[in-house]
Each structure stands twice: as structure tokens, then as C-alpha cells.
Structure 1
């Protein structure tokens, strides 16, 4: 991410941006997936309780949900979905983050001088987010399916024994195209969140670097990452909830994206679209800080700028 750095440096090759982005995204995923598991459980809880009268919510709050999962299913269950999560980040993270600068420069044109307009940054984020998730959507589906399955009654087998079994079982039982279940809300969610994350990180960093006392260092990267995470969760929560419900609900739960929005609003109210907001922000905020810090340091280590 250039973030307004005025010094010209040697261009990082495309394979370098992809590799650095994939590595940084995978490390952030590994560190924060317990928060994501808690978020998915909270988002799906409303659906699970629909039609059941006087049933107290099983999960309460980010840390309460994590504690319940660890107590009932074991601490390792907080990392459910880590394998497809890493598959996802290698593909999606590498593409959406690695292609952001090249696509932004394409939209700016070769003769552009000065800071990039915010709209161009948003357009680049929307483009790479949509392209990346079209490739990586099956990994997202498997990750949500594994995360959504809680403690089962004695004798009841799990749907999937692991990530690879989940891929093959879904293809056998539901068909190959079902790996792209929920693609519509997934594209919307990831294009919007990607644009919010990358454009806001770029913009916040660019703004901070113009203020006295700020340099391209760890403090600037942390503040920019937190800003990116907060903006992303504010604009992306509604489509994130719909994506989780469509992917976690199995076959035939909803007729489509619009039907899922309507049923969620009808059954659970408008507040359901921000169900799990705090764990979602805890997840996205920390994810962005870790990812951008790792990305910036990786680029500096392997692709230092010309002084």
C-alpha cells in the first residue's frame, strides 16, 4: 500500500505482492479465527432460535461465546475452519490485496500525478474483492459450514470430518456448483469490505503521513489498520450476516439473497443485521492490524525501496 508515500521506489513484481499478501492474510487468519468462529455462531443463533418460544440464547457476547465453545467442545474448536480459512486467504487474500495497487494504477492511468482520488481507491477495492472471492468462494463455504456446527448430541455424527471431506461431500451430495452457494451475497460482502478495508487504510495512512510527527512506521500502520477494520465492519455487517446464514443454513433455507434479507428482517428485526457486531469488529480490527503490519514489514524486508 503506497498510502501517499512520496518517494518513488522500485516496483514490486506481481508475484511478490501476491506472495506477501497471501502470507500476511494467512498469518492474520491464524491469529484471529477464534473471533471469527464466535462471530459466525452469534450470527446464526437467531436462525436457530426462530420459532422456539422462551429459549434463552446459548451464546452471549464475543468472549462469552468463545468461553462456551471452549468449555463444551474444547479449545481447539475455536480454530474450526482454519484449513479452509488458510485456503481462502492464500487465494482471496493474495488476489484482493496483491492486485489492489496494479488495478488502482490501471484506473488512475499512466500519466496520473499526485495522490489517488478516494473514488479510484474504492473502485479498485471493489474490483479486486469481487474477482478474488469468485475464485475463493468454495473455501468460504466450507469454512462457514465447519464453524457453524456446534456440540452435537451423543451418537449424532458430524456432517464433515474435515475440510477436504467437506469439499468432496458437498460435491457428492449437493453438486459441484453448490460450492458457490451464497456467491451473490459473498461477492457483495467481500467487494464492499475489501473496498472499505483497502481504500480506508490507503486514505487514513495517506492523511496521517501529511500530519506533523507521523512517519511510515508501526504506529501509523496500527492506526490505519484499526480505521480500516472499523469502517469495514460498519458497511459490511448486513451482507456478512446474510452470507453466513445462506452458507450455514444448508440446502433450501432461502430462495436467494433478497429472500434471506427479507426473512432475517421479518424473523429477527433490523438489529439482526448487526448481530455479532463487537466480535466482528474485534475480528476485523485485529485482523487488519495484524495483516497490514505483516504486509508492510514483509514488503520492506524482501522488497526494500530505493533510497
Structure 2
């Protein structure tokens, strides 16, 4: 970013990490009700709807949000927000903060012009995989707390809060259990991270080539929506497998979860919760990227060109 009098603006890794964490946390707070709805829809099995001729408990994004709010109270929609913020500080800060650095390393010093899309995708895959490998326990606890609402009224809750959940899982299931679902989670987050960051980068570049468009809030909004759409289309199947493995301990491994889901619920089960997922990821990306573009300005410093 160019400054005045032959200077330019740069941002350190610490600044990129902090701005990414702040933007990701704000997006998480605003959109976690939709994420809770998505998790409930993904965990709802088809067989339930056939028992005694009943219909599924959760139907559609708004219907699921309304059901949760009515039966469990509005605060239930923000269940998992504490580990969600833990996750975004670690995962969001690392995956987004490292993206530009890794992208530049992959492009090399001799690149002229725009960085190829393939390099952007590789950078997104690498930073997404690394970040979630570190942050997986926060993701697990978030899903477990969101799934608590499925228990029958009066049934004892397994966890009293986020810190208790970390401790209880490690004590009862072993420390290794905090990395349950790490396989599909790495796949899911590497793929979605690449889809989000590379598509945002690419869509933003394309928009800025259109006469009349500048690097402003409207451009960031359009690019954020594009990033969310690509992320959901590409990442939904692994997202469903990840949520089911984390929310239900009966699955032996990733392959077992995939096969059982396909056999019992059919191929469309992998796109369960697609609308709330897009509603959530679309709005999440818009809020995150709009915030990120603004917050980065506070961490940027002027250096000689």
C-alpha cells in the first residue's frame, strides 16, 4: 500500500495476526446463531424423522433458529461462543495472518505481475491445515457445547462450560481425544480456507479491473460474498463429516462416518444445512473481510519505499 513522499505502508506478522484475530472474532460473535443452526441440522439424522411418523425437529435455517430459541432460550444460540472465540483467535489469526507470507514465498522473488490463482490456493491450503492442527481442541469443544441442546429436557449436561469441557474431555477420554476429528477437520479447514482466501483475493482483483470500481467497502462486500459461496460449495461434505464425528462418538473414523452417512441418509446429507451454512459463511466472510480491511490500517506502518 503506497504512502506519500516515496514511502509505503507495511504490516508485520504480529499486526496481521492481531487484525485477523479481531476480525474473525467479531464475525464469530455476529454469526454463531447460524452456525449453531447448521450444526443441529447436520447432526439430525434422517432415521429420526421416520420414528413414529414424526417429522424432523429442525427444518430450515430460520426454523431451526426459532426452535432453539423457543425451547432453550435465546442464549442457547450462542452456545459454544467462548471456545468459538478461542478458535478464531488461534485459527483465524494464524490462517489469515500467515496467508500473505506463504503466498509470497510460493510466488518467489522473481514474479512479475499478479500472483497465479494456483499459488493462492496452495497458500490457503497450507495455512488452513497448519492453523486447525493447532486449534482443533477449540473446534471440538465448540461443537460439543452446541450439540448439548439435543439432549432431552432434564437430562444431565456433560459440560458446565468451555473450560470444564476441555478438562472433562481430556480426563475422561484422554488428551488425544481433544484432536478427535482432526482428519476431516484438516481437510475441511484447508479446503474452506483456500476457497475463502484465494477466491476473495481473485474476486477482488477481478472487480478492481472493472471500470468505476475502487478498493472500497462495496468491493470488499462483493468479494466477501463470493468467498463465502465458494467455501460452502466446496467444503460442505467435509464439514458435515467433521460435525458428525465431533458431535457423535459412535463413528470409528472419518471413512466410517462418510460411509454410514452416505448409506443411512443418502448423498444429499453431505449438503445438510447448506442454506444456514451459506447464510453463516457468507455473512461471516463479509463481516470478517470488511473488518479486516479496516483494522489492518491501524497496524500498518510507513516505511521508506
2:291 paired residue number = 294
TM-score (norm 2): 0.94
Matched, 1:74 2:73: yes
Q: Which residue is 1:223 aligned to? A: 222
1:110 and 2:109 correspond: yes
- Alpha-carbon separation, structure 1, partners of 2:273 and 2:184: 18
1:192-223 CA distances to partner (integer Å, 9 max, x unpaired)?
Answer: 00000000000000111111011000000000
Task: Indicate whether 1:90 and 2:89 are aligned.
Answer: yes
Residue in structure 1 matching 2:282, options 285, 290, 293: 285
Alignment TM-score, normalising by the size of structure 1: 0.94
How many Å separate the matches in 2 of 1:64 and 1:277? 14
| Aligned counterparts, 1:185-196, within 5 A | 185-196=184-195
Paired residue secondary structure (2:10): coil
User: CA 1:169 to 1:10, structure 2 compared with 1: closer, same or farther past 3 Å?
Assistant: same
Q: Is the 8 A contact 1:73 1:151 kept in 2?
A: no
How far is the alpha carbon of 1:26 from its aligned partner?
0.4
The 1:214–1:184 alpha-carbon spacing in structure 2 relative to 1, beyond 3 Å, is same
Q: What CA deviation, in whole Å up to 9, does each residue of 1:167-201 have, x standing for no partner? A: 00001110000000000000000000000000000
Which residue in 1 is equivalent to 2:260? 263
In structure 2, relative to structure 1, the CA distance for the partners of 1:40 and 1:140 (3 Å cut) is same
- CA distance in 1: counterparts of 2:97 and 2:7, whole angstroms: 19
- For residues 52-99 of structure 1, what are the alpha-carbon distances to aligned partners after superposition, in whole Å with 9 as ceiling and x for unaligned? 453310001101000000000000000000000000000000000000
Residues 1-307 of structure 1: pairs in structure 2 closer than 5 A: 9-46=8-45, 49=48, 52=51, 54-150=53-149, 152-250=151-249, 253-303=250-300
Cα distance between partner residues in 1 of 2:171 and 2:163: 12
Structure 1 gap ranges (5+)? none
Question: SS of the counterpart of 2:157?
Answer: coil
Alignment root-mean-square deviation, CA: 1.8
How many residues are treated as equivalent by the alignment? 300
Unaligned stretches of 5+ residues in structure 2? none
